Amino acid sequence: MQKAYKIRIKGIVQGVGFRPFIYKLAKEEKIKGIVLNDTEGVIIYAEPGSKPMDSFIEKIKKEKPPVSIIDSIEISEKNFEGYKTFSIEKSRLTDRRAAFIPPDISMCADCEEEFFSKADFRHHYPFITCINCGPRFSIIKDIPYDRINTAMDAFPMCSRCRTEYEDPENRRFHSQPNACSRCGPQLTLYDSNKNPIIDKDAGRIAEFTFNKLQNGSIVAIKGTGGYLLAVNAEDDDAIKRLRILKGRAFKPFALMCGAIDTIEDFLHVSEKEKELLLSRERPIVLLRIKKKKVSKLVAPGLTYLGVMLPYIPFQHHIFSLEKDMVLIMTSGNISEEPIAYDDEDAFGRLKNIADYFIAYNREITAPTDDSVMFAIGDEAYFIRRSRSFVPVPFKSVTSKKHLIATGGDIKNSFALAKEDIIILSQYLGDLAAPSGYELFDKMFHHFQHLYDFSPEAVIADMHPGYYTTKIADKLEAEGLKRINVQHHHAHIVSVMEEHKLNDEVIGISFDGTGYGTDGTLWGSEFLISTRRDFLRAAHFDCFPLPGGEKAIYDVWKTGISLLQKAFGNDIPLMSKENNKDIILDMIEKNINSPLACSIGRIFDGTAAILGISRSISAEAEAAMLLEEAAIKGCSEKIKKNAFVIPYSDSNTITVSTSALIKYIVETINKGYTIEETAFMFHASIARTTVEIAGILREKYSVNRIALCGGVFQNKLLLSLIRESLTNNKFDVFINNHAPLNDGSIALGQIAIGKSLL
């Protein structure tokens, strides 16, 4: 009796060339049957004749398309139908929606070669793509992943593209975004008043853009997930204008270079950093400056620049006109608002920034900022997880309920849990902006539809003033069960979830501010943590935060508070600060001066005490400049001067913030430079961290350490702590697939929620 099999494959297996791959493999293995997409993934009906199925299944696992991810392969016997050939059938709907959506991918080498070939009919076509590259997540409207369910539905294929699409030997076989200049999307160049200047002629648009950028113009270019603002990175005047118009006084701008050789010419690039830059994801990577090439205004006072390589055809086109050109490519927004991706919205919000707009007539269904990463040694870490990485799921324990976690207010991402997967959304930005709040709502409903998601419980931060708390309030009012989670516990559990840690860990969460269980603002936490609960084992002691969380920007107020706690009202170093007495009075009378123990705020205050920053325009600006000073003052000789900050010998260890500040002042008084003092500050926190970790290891018999929190974006501090912990034989775990900052909060919230429900 002849055998027949039903093979169900789940994972990221739609939009990545999986059906064409199965088709070709079945032909090689002389298997008859069909393959198709449905709302659960890919299904194969295979009749192998007298041959065993082992070889076919093994080749599926080993030779699968490079962008695909197989989560499971289920094989069952079925009735023999007597298929005569093997074919790709039309997609079907089932009663379950479990298919995963692939992320957007940079242009592949084959398409790049065709793009620049004058003999190819897609020469300079800005939407050239194939089964191995191009937009996916940013154009999808529904599953299964068929053209009708994407933004490409508005562009019927011409006969030439249709022939490729139906040819099993062509790499555009069943490539849903397949198009050419005859039938696909087109570029249009506009002025800032939306008057068209050049329509459809990509070559002329590229040349016009290149010339305008060389002459100081700001150009808004619609990319994969939204608009980017392009500026010549060597033009001081243009960058000054961009900073003023965008409302971005300090925060560094991302760069784009046309080739890895250009990057290596002026930036230090390690093997790991090169691997990230050249990867198909093409993230922004933070690299240390080797020599001056771009304006100092790109990243004022910083020695690290964020840079990426082109990932869409039009970007490649611009850089082909000048190999060594370096451009700013920053998100098309104002200040901390979400990226503009809808054309009308972009022209409205960016009209007073951009001189010209390059748009195209295809909808972006899901906006994504560029992802941002950095590397230390062989390890890579996320600052922002978005384009090319979202919505790749996290595998998890099976959830009894559908859960949503609302995340944090800054650098927001939300998360959904369904069955054995967690989907962490793209970076959405700061929810304080109305557009951020609106984008959260839109993307939540988009994900809800795509994944057939019906939330039964909501997990939120316990901070009463967060915008995400309001979102959770609304969902609770609609009948969802509500769980509130402490901010830093969520940070630590995000590491546990990512690394599949189920036993207790020593969680070290160094962060900005998070609402604590005692009503104070935490952020220097040593937690003995499980997925369900935690014990606060150690932290830095508290100090007043005059003005509350607004002191995040007026860091001089935090500096005065730290000095007052250490020295009383007769403060050193900042004694001539204007309005000093007002702040001292606020502290003494406890007027809007909540207690905080945040390492982030200690960094801010120390930067103010050392005269590095007074007020800032962007979150973590003072801390970044303090790190820069420390890098300049770094030496093994100075490192030996680092001391262990005194701490209490009590049930909950309290590190003396005042002793640290006294040490800083004493160091300056001894004649050490600002840079050397900044380095000793970093080294002392690192040394103290490791000593306390050792005490907790002995006390609680825990050797695993999880590090998470926005302060660990400080490359110097992370390096010092990680290296020393490793040398002291700790097992150290850090997020590699979720951001170190609040972008990981939702992942931890979901994992905690799963453990409690």
pLDDT of 525 > 90? The answer is yes
Average pLDDT score over residue span 468-492: 97
The pLDDT value given to residue 640 = 79
Q: Which of 369, 367, 356, 365 is nearest to 188 (CA)?
A: 356
Q: What average pLDDT does the chain have?
A: 95
What are 601's two structure tokens? 């705020």
Catalytic pick among 19, 243, 385, 687? 19
Residue matched to tokens 């409205």: 348
At 411-428, the pLDDT tens digits run: 999 999 999 999 999 999
Catalytic: 590? no
At 533-582, the pLDDT tens digits run: 999 999 999 999 998 877 788 999 999 999 999 999 999 999 999 899 99
Q: How far apart are CA 633 and CA 310, in angstroms?
A: 35
pLDDT of 282 > 90? The answer is yes
Percent of the chain with pLDDT over 70: 100
Highest mean pLDDT among 77-81, 169-173, 388-392, 632-636: 388-392
Average pLDDT score over residue span 223-235: 98
The pLDDT value given to residue 53 = 86
Average pLDDT score over residue span 332-356: 93
List, in sequence order, every residue forming a beta bridge with 381; answer none if it has no partner.
374
Q: What HEC string does 128-183 produce?
A: CCCCCCECCHHHECCCCCCHHHEHHHHCCCCHHHHHHHCCCCCCCCCCCCCCCCCC
Average pLDDT score over residue span 337-345: 94
Measured in residues, the chain has a length of 757
Domains of the chain: 5-88 (3.30.70.100), 187-374 (3.90.870.40), 385-499+744-756 (3.30.420.360), 509-737 (3.30.420.40)
At 696-743, the pLDDT tens digits run: 999 999 999 999 999 999 999 999 999 999 999 999 999 999 999 999
The pLDDT value given to residue 636 = 82
pLDDT of 51 > 80? The answer is no
The band of 1, judged by pLDDT with boundaries at 50, 70 and 90, is low
Q: What are the C-alpha distances in Å from 265 to residues 143, 321, 587?
A: 44, 19, 51
The pLDDT value given to residue 618 = 86
Q: Positive or negative, the Cα torsion across 338, 344, 346, 349? A: negative
Strand (E) or helix (H) holding 662:
helix 657-669
At 118-173, the pLDDT tens digits run: 999 999 999 999 999 999 999 999 988 899 999 999 999 999 999 999 998 899 99
Catalytic: 19? yes
Q: Pick the range with the lowest mean pLDDT from 15-19, 47-51, 98-102.
A: 47-51
Q: Give per-residue burial for 678-700: e unless 16+ CB within 10 Å, then b.
A: bbbbbbbbbbbbbbbbeebbeee
DSSP line for 74-118: EEEE------SSEEEPPPB--S---PPPPPPBPPPHHHHHHHT-T
**Upstream peptide bond of 310 is cis (omega within 30 degrees of 0):** no
Q: Which of 244, 537, 498 is nearest to 381 (CA)?
A: 498
pLDDT of 83 > 80? The answer is yes
Catalytic pick among 8, 37, 282, 741? 37
554 close to 540: Cβ distance less than 8 angstroms: no
Q: How far apart are CA 105 and CA 311, in angstroms?
A: 8
Q: 32 Cβ partners below 8 Å, 6+ apart?
A: 26, 46, 47, 48, 49, 83, 84, 85, 86
Query: What's the pTM value of the predicted model, to 2 decimals?
Result: 0.95
